[in-house]
Amino acid sequence: MLRISRYAYLQTLTAIFSKRLLSHKQLSYLLKLPIDKILPALGHKGLDNIIQHLTQAQLKLLPAGNMDNLFLSVLLDDAQSIIRSLSGVERDFFIYWIRRFELQNIKTILRGKSLQREQEQIVAELTPLGPFSVLPIDELLHADNIPEILLQLEKTPFAAIARYGSKNFEKKQDVFTIETAINHQYFTGLQKQLRLLSEEDQAILRPLLGRIIDQTNLIWLLRYRLSYQLSPSHTYFLLVPGGLYLSSKRLVQLSKIKKWQQLCELLPEKMKAQITGCASIHHIELSLEQDIINYASRMLKTNTFTLSHAFIYLVVREKQLSQLHALLKGKLLHLADKEIAFATGECL
């Protein structure tokens, strides 16, 4: 009874929010509509601000940053409403998940500093995160060099990530090394946060987060080996344990690939089936993304409510917002429906 009463508000909120999600059939239907018919069809989906901006712009494409920020603000508003009802390690877990967007701001500042860009240029590329922002932006922008930026970050909730990044920067002296270190350390920290939740929530969330880690590892691995030509040992070092299908042993094997064709031979059958027919890294990413959406959507429909349902909602909501972003952008650019369908993952 205590658990039921504790999550009564959260359950109600999640149930209301879940009605904003689109079914596969609804998204497929939107793909066939012209832009002026799509916006009215998105009423009651929590997208009022986006609809208003596009209407005011007379259905013309907004600047890329503006469009990105509008969609992110929808997700952040949902997340803030959910997090208000939480406390302790549960609240920390949700905040940690959302703060990965702040990591992008850290990377933007690091890149800007390394390229000696003007502060105004760097600021223009930062993502506004409202109440979730914890970075001392002014101090970071006024830092003289990369080590000083990392030192400033040690005073923030990103201290562990900053220290890990500093160690890697000392060895390689390049921003790419810090970025990969940040990625690695974030997912390592996420798994630590997960272990603090109840055993029930851990059991529910591990298969979902495992899929997300598998997707992340596979895309990183392909880019590191085939695009950046990193060594097998360096590639493996940058990957994250804890995936659902890709064990550490399997990642060692995959890190040795030299050609695209070798990939499928080494993948577990379930992942192999998901990427069959994919012709590019981006295509693989979209295919795995769709698998995550399908799995999470099924999990949302289970009858017994737990804390995990609220988190799963945010995962599905974020990925659907990304699909809608691609859909609207494609329609505003007058792309062919086939191209838009590919960008949303609906052709997979």
Mean pLDDT score across all residues of the chain: 90
Q: Does 95 reside within a domain?
A: no
Contacts for 168 with CB less than 8 Å, ≥ 6 apart = 177, 178, 180, 181
Q: Does 168 reside within a domain?
A: yes
Q: Report d(CA 136, CA 156) in Å as an integer.
A: 8
The pLDDT score that the predictor gives to residue 348 is 47
Q: Does 297 reside within a domain?
A: no
Q: Does 65 reside within a domain?
A: yes
* pLDDT greater than 60 at residue 284: yes
Residues 313 and 333 in one domain: yes
Contact 211, 291 (CB under 8 A): yes
The pLDDT score that the predictor gives to residue 6 is 66
Residues 191 and 211 in one domain: no
Query: What's at 152, amino acid-wise?
Result: Q
Residues 213 and 275 in one domain: yes
Contacts for 92 with CB less than 8 Å, ≥ 6 apart = 193, 196
Contacts for 87 with CB less than 8 Å, ≥ 6 apart = none
For 85, the token pair is 């009802």
Residue ending a domain, choose from 196, 226, 253: 196
Q: Does 289 reside within a domain?
A: no
Q: What is the mean pLDDT of residues 168-182?
A: 80
Residues 167 and 236 in one domain: no
pLDDT digits (tens, 9 = 90+) for 234-270: 899 889 989 999 999 999 999 999 888 888 889 999 9
Q: Does 284 reside within a domain?
A: no
Angle of helix 307-332 versus helix 281-300 axis, rounded to 10: 140
Check residues 106 and 58 and name the one with the higher pLDDT: 106
The pLDDT score that the predictor gives to residue 347 is 57
Q: What is the mean pLDDT of residues 55-84?
A: 90
Number of structural domains in the chain: 3
Residue ending a domain, choose from 163, 196, 229: 196
The pLDDT score that the predictor gives to residue 192 is 94
* Boundaries of domain holding 34: 1-86+302-348
The pLDDT confidence band at residue 276, using thresholds 50, 70 and 90, is confident
Model-level pTM?
0.92
Contact 310, 14 (CB under 8 A): yes
Q: What is the mean pLDDT of residues 116-123?
A: 92
Q: Report d(CA 64, CA 50) in Å as an integer.
A: 13
Residue ending a domain, choose from 176, 196, 216: 196
By percentage, how much of the chain surpasses pLDDT 90? 66
The pLDDT score that the predictor gives to residue 1 is 42
